[in-house]
């Protein structure tokens, strides 16, 4: 049953109830994805202050737009899990839920009496998902962590930026978002396992682990060479040409990912001689001569605009794209065509735009509007009535 003021949920996870005691970003991003797929998500927040993200800007009429973007379509009840009356309510919620999600430091839920070992015998069908800095095992298990801590420790910052420049954080919270997505994948797998076997399981996600899992090519270059790779700016480490190139009025990404695409690019740019140049006839040779090739490509591209070369490369069938700023990206026609910018009509902020759901599934609607993020404790009466209190 949906909360008062919210439309009935539709989606492949309709009928699934998630009790969400996570906060800030990693856990809430996971539960946002579950809500977008139709699950009912009940946020259990600290009384008076709520989720820390409620206090992060930007703000519209005093309400956090950041919180709105991560918690839209959820419900909120404020409970103090150190008080007996609120613990009894929380127990009733867990008894009716399919999943509980938390992203506290390991040991926190155990101190409260709500760790996996306690909950599983009591609620044998309840799936438990934990996202923490380093997971629930290992020597760093109890260390605190935020996004940029694991970006640094997980190696991603060492390959981000340009050679010789100071360490550079990836421009969005890949530490939190990555672990939130992996937590969602783990939860969906656990739900399927429970459907097939009747057994509920614990999902244990470490943000540091997720950063390692995202290293892909960089890790393999280290494993095969024994040398830790460094930053390369806007260039792919092993495919050439595959980077940002300067034009007359900006930059363009050209991603000629194989020999055929390179030949098409050469023809499109009016340099068919590159196809037979012994320095460029194969990807390994182009990678050896990457700087020389870049100089030659930019000598052509600087003669005209990014828009001009985009049209040329589109006709040639070569993957290419401009480097959009955030405004250009969210206003790009493809974003609208894919319903990736949706509206939230919040009674406090008024109409707001937020990013839509990238997961499109046939047979389920992808509406152009979303329910707003809840005010702290706004769904208390409805939730208590449903659990008979």
Active site residue 136: no
Phi, psi at 242, each rounded to 5°: -155, 75
Residue with tokens 């049209």: 311
- Which tokens hold the place of 6? 């919210």
Take residue 150 and report the two structure tokens written for it: 């694991």
Cα 8 to chain centroid distance, Å, stands at: 26
In this structure, the number of other CB atoms found within 10 A of the CB of residue 147 comes to 23
Which residue, among 143, 210, 204, has the nearest Cα to 174 in the 3D structure?
Answer: 210
120, 193, 236, 308: which one is catalytic? 236
d(CA 183, CA 357): 17
The per-residue DSSP string of 34-60 comes to: HHHTT-EEEEEE-TTT--GGGG-S-EE
What radius of gyration, in Å, describes the C-alpha atoms of the chain? Answer: 25
**Cα 45 to Cα 42, 48, 172, 297, 385, distances in angstroms:** 9, 9, 25, 55, 18
Q: Using an 8 Å Cβ cutoff, are 268 and 316 in contact?
A: yes
- List CB contacts of 301: < 8 A, sequence separation 6 or more: 245, 246, 247, 248, 252, 269, 309
Q: Which residues are catalytic?
A: 236
């Amino acid at each position: 049953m949906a909360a008062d003021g919210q439309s009935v949920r539709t989606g492949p996870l309709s009928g699934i109830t998630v009790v969400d005691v996570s906060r800030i970003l990693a856990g809430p991003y996971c539960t946002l994805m579950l809500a977008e797929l139709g699950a009912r998500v009940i946020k259990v927040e600290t009384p008076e202050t709520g989720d820390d993200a409620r206090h992060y800007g930007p703000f519209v009429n005093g309400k956090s737009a950041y919180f709105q973007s991560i918690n839209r379509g959820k419900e909120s009840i404020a409970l103090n899990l150190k008080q007996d009356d609120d613990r009894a309510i929380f127990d009733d919620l867990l008894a009716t839920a399919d999943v509980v999600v938390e992203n506290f430091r390991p040991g926190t839920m155990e101190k409260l009496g709500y760790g996996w070992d306690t909950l599983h015998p009591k609620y044998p069908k309840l799936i438990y998902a934990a996202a923490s800095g380093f997971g629930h095992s290992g020597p760093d298990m109890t260390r605190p962590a935020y996004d940029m801590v694991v970006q640094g420790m997980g190696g991603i910052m060492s390959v981000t930026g340009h050679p010789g420049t100071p360490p550079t954080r990836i421009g969005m919270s890949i530490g939190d978002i990555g672990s939130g997505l992996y937590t969602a994948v783990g939860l969906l797998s656990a739900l399927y396992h429970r459907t097939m076997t009747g057994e509920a399981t614990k999902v244990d996600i470490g943000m540091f682990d997720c950063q390692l899992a995202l290293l892909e090519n960089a890790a393999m270059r280290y494993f095969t060479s024994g040398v830790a790779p460094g930053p390369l700016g806007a260039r792919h480490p092993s495919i050439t040409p595959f980077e940002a190139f300067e034009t007359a009025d900006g930059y363009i990404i050209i991603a000629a990912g194989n020999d055929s695409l390179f030949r098409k690019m050469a023809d499109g740019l009016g340099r068919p001689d590159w196809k037979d140049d012994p320095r460029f006839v194969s990807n390994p040779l182009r990678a050896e001569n990457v700087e020389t090739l870049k100089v030659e490509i930019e000598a052509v591209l600087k003669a005209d605009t990014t828009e001009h070369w985009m049209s040329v490369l589109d006709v040639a069938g070569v993957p290419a794209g401009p480097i959009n700023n955030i405004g250009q990206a969210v206003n790009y026609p493809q974003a609208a065509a894919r319903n990736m910018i949706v509206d939230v009509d919040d009674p406090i902020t008024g109409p707001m735009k937020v990013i839509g759901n990238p997961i499109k599934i046939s047979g389920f609607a992808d509406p152009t509007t979303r329910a707003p993020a809840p005010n702290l404790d706004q769904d208390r009466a409805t939730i208590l009535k449903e659990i008979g209190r």
